[in-house]
Structure 1
């Protein structure tokens, strides 16, 4: 059984847990070095990539729980020997968790959560809400922003929501390396928010819904009203996959893939090295927009 909820909830509910960690990866592997999984007698949290490697690790961990063992190291070739064809080789460390180990794992998880890239969906219409539904399942901190409380109220996704009379302020105080997807109900507001995001010069992604014609109009508007602001790095149209399907959920799927490709690229990782992740201005909001 794969346990739902947070790692803290899982570790609090399980008395005996084995931490499985990828300590070395050589060649091709389903997950990177440092990946963790936690195995209890009847539940799991996390994954080291699935397949026969994970099956082997789970069995070894549960053997340890049954026998009372404290530590074990495994060196596993990802080839025909275990029925997996990655071709690489991984080393695993399996260790029984003490209370201090559980605390340390929870702290690591919290730091990882804090370090998630921010994705600002500017507009809570049909496509904006469909994007929120996508991003709630991805390793990002999604913030859905709109001037209209009635549209925000329709969002059922587990993301942060903010009703803002001045939505560009959310862009100004976003952390470096954030992604901005602009799709409001008003073209003038789209232009204002898009140029605000581009002016930062530190966004991992800036996209605006619309056609090639709308892009040209924005370029002309920016030249006239924003001191010649370049739109070279703007994605517009967004999610340009070649599909003609205009259903919000389909558009959102392509846009989410586009955003995640940028956020996980080597270029984005390099740009964020040493960057200050604290907001530029303002204060923290928890999920569903409550100030903290």
Structure 2
């Protein structure tokens, strides 16, 4: 699940109940900090929070200031220096600075942009949340650009596929698992929000709406199925394609595909053997190595999350 979803749901719940709430968003950082621009936390009238902007002394100070602003129905830009004096007690001597926009929402009409963002994210679409701070007679406007959860398609519902699928839900991927074995590909092994497709793997992959933010992991039960799955997606615009297997197995599959017109240039984009080289042996270790490679690919180039002030 996208990490913003429970935060936005909590905002709407509080406002619909007639209770104002404070939204705290990191809008700028310099140097080393525990969170990056776009990190968000909300604080309600009971001082309960959702989300995080870094923990420890940072959140304690922002909780205190935002609660004061909440009582006044006010907003502010709060700049924190994570230096020796501020962060010593909690070990947050990062040395950087964080600017946090603290805004109060107390009317239902103020939630329209929040509702729209929540709807977009629940439909796996990107969205934008406007943040407005009025301070000392000046207005500071920001846009928070929220990425949609990228699709992760796992071809193969075996042990590695199961472990990886469950892990990647928590890593904010929209996960689909494909296998032709109903005794493996089922909701007892892959509970919601994981999507399960019971079908011939290559057929299902050919029908799947693969786009430039789709990640594909091929971990089927055998050489033949891996080769068919790779052939089904190799011409797609997927951001990432990875296939499990030893170097010998990979060579055999590549030789077979090249004999059918797949070029070496097309195969160069495939991550195989899959995963970061951490000498993984067990299923959990292999799962971690694959997930790490997915994260590394995802975080290489990112859209600017916070724009402003305007």
TM-score by length of 1: 0.81
Asked whether the equivalents of residues 133 and 157 of structure 1 are also in contact (C-alpha less than 8 Å), the reply is no
Partner of 1:23: 27
Asked whether the equivalents of residues 167 and 193 of structure 1 are also in contact (C-alpha less than 8 Å), the reply is no
Asked whether the equivalents of residues 276 and 292 of structure 2 are also in contact (C-alpha less than 8 Å), the reply is no
Q: 1:106 to 1:82 in 2, by over 3 A?
A: farther
Partner of 1:259: 294
Asked whether the equivalents of residues 132 and 157 of structure 1 are also in contact (C-alpha less than 8 Å), the reply is no
Does 2:63 correspond to 1:58? yes
Asked whether the equivalents of residues 29 and 99 of structure 2 are also in contact (C-alpha less than 8 Å), the reply is yes
Rounded to whole Å, the distance in 1 between the matches of 2:156 and 2:114 is 36
Aligned Cα root-mean-square deviation (Å): 2.4
Please give the secondary structure, in 2, of the residue aligned with 1:257: helix
Q: 1:99 to 1:121 in 2, by over 3 A?
A: same
- Larger deviation: 37-46 or 234-243? 234-243
Does 2:198 correspond to 1:163? yes
Residue correspondence of structure 1 range 171-182 to structure 2 within 5 A = 171=208, 173-182=209-218
Rounded to whole Å, the distance in 2 between the matches of 1:157 and 1:252 is 19
Does 2:243 correspond to 1:238? no
Offset at residue 12 of structure 1 (A): 3.8
Rounded to whole Å, the distance in 2 between the matches of 1:193 and 1:31 is 39
Does 2:153 correspond to 1:149? no
Which stretches in structure 1 are left out of the alignment for 5+ residues? 271-292
Does 2:220 correspond to 1:184? yes
Partner of 2:36: 32
Which stretches in structure 2 are left out of the alignment for 5+ residues? 126-147, 304-310
Partner of 1:102: 111
Q: Deviations over 1:137-167 (max 9, x none)?
A: 0122111111222211122363122223322
Please give the secondary structure, in 2, of the residue aligned with 1:37: strand
Q: 1:104 to 1:81 in 2, by over 3 A?
A: farther
Rounded to whole Å, the distance in 2 between the matches of 1:259 and 1:59 is 38
Q: Deviations over 1:233-282 (max 9, x none)?
A: 22222224333532x2222122111111111112xx48xxxxxxxxxxxx
Partner of 1:287: none
Q: How many residues align?
A: 262
Please give the secondary structure, in 2, of the residue aligned with 1:265: coil
Rounded to whole Å, the distance in 1 between the matches of 2:35 and 2:120 is 20
Partner of 2:231: 195
Asked whether the equivalents of residues 152 and 174 of structure 2 are also in contact (C-alpha less than 8 Å), the reply is yes
Please state which structure has a larger fraction of its residues in strand. Answer: 2
Find 1:215's aligned residue among 246, 250, 254. 250
TM-score by length of 2: 0.76
Q: Deviations over 1:171-200 (max 9, x none)?
A: 5x2122311100112321211211332222
